[in-house]
Amino acid sequence: MEVTASDLDNLKATELRLGLPGIDAPEKPAPVSPRGSKRALLVSNEECWPGKNKSPEADSGGQEAQPMAKAQVVGWPPIRSYRKNSFKARKEEMEAAGLFVKVSMDGAPYLRKIDLKVYQDYKELKEALDNMFRCFSTGELSGMQGCNGSEYAITYEDKDGDWMLVGDVPWEMFMSSCKRLRIMRRSEATGMPSSP
């Protein structure tokens, strides 16, 4: 299966983000403080908003009005604070700890380590790996599903100990199950079974 730019864009469409489906979320803040802004949105949803902020589309009935504000309507969706807090606590726990994984490349004399938390999606990860391992390969790393004439495929070991092709599952799921990465030579990769 060929990897195209639109495939990478589709990956972006499946990524988890704060905002309603079908709406283009505003540009994400720079990775410098992605955790800070996520937390701010969660916190402001818990606060009591003054009465002035009625539901944004009460009059227009349309979906154009601030998508981010919609996400912050007080008490919506109607989920008990207890449940929200449980998940929030776990999310914060995950965000606080770095997620360092080893990255090896076939033929390279040494391994690298990266923090998966720093990247928002597969695209950023791939770019980072490109930069890191450029000196060891002649062409670009193709990375995701299938090949594009490139020598290498990016794979990862998951929690069960299986070697998987990077890019199949949503980014968040990948982050939580990835234990290490291996940039594999194409010639070895062709024998790989497809993901279950």
Distance CA 153, CA 165 (A): 8
Tokens read off for 54 = 């009625």
Q: Is 78 helix (H, G, I), strand (E, B) or coil?
A: coil
Distance CA 151, CA 148 (A): 9
Which of residues 79 and 111 has its CB atom nearest to other proteins in the complex?
79
Least separation, in Å, of the C-beta of 155 and other proteins?
20
Distance CA 10, CA 1 (A): 15
Sheet with strand 152-157: strands edge to edge: 112-115, 100-105, 180-185, 152-157, 163-165
Least separation, in Å, of the C-beta of 127 and other proteins?
24
Which of residues 22 and 109 has its CB atom nearest to other proteins in the complex?
22
Least separation, in Å, of the C-beta of 69 and other proteins?
11
Which of residues 62 and 191 has its CB atom nearest to other proteins in the complex?
62
Diameter over CA atoms, the chain:
63
Least separation, in Å, of the C-beta of 182 and other proteins?
21
The CA-CA-CA angle for residues 76, 79, 84, to 5°, reads 105
68 contacts 41 by C-beta, under 8 angstroms:
yes
Which of residues 123 and 141 has its CB atom nearest to other proteins in the complex?
123
Could you list the residues that contact other proteins (CB under 8 A)?
A: 14, 16-21, 25, 46, 48, 50-52, 54-55, 57-58, 61, 70-71, 73-87, 90, 159-160, 170, 173, 176, 196
Which of residues 74 and 118 has its CB atom nearest to other proteins in the complex?
74
Least separation, in Å, of the C-beta of 18 and other proteins?
5
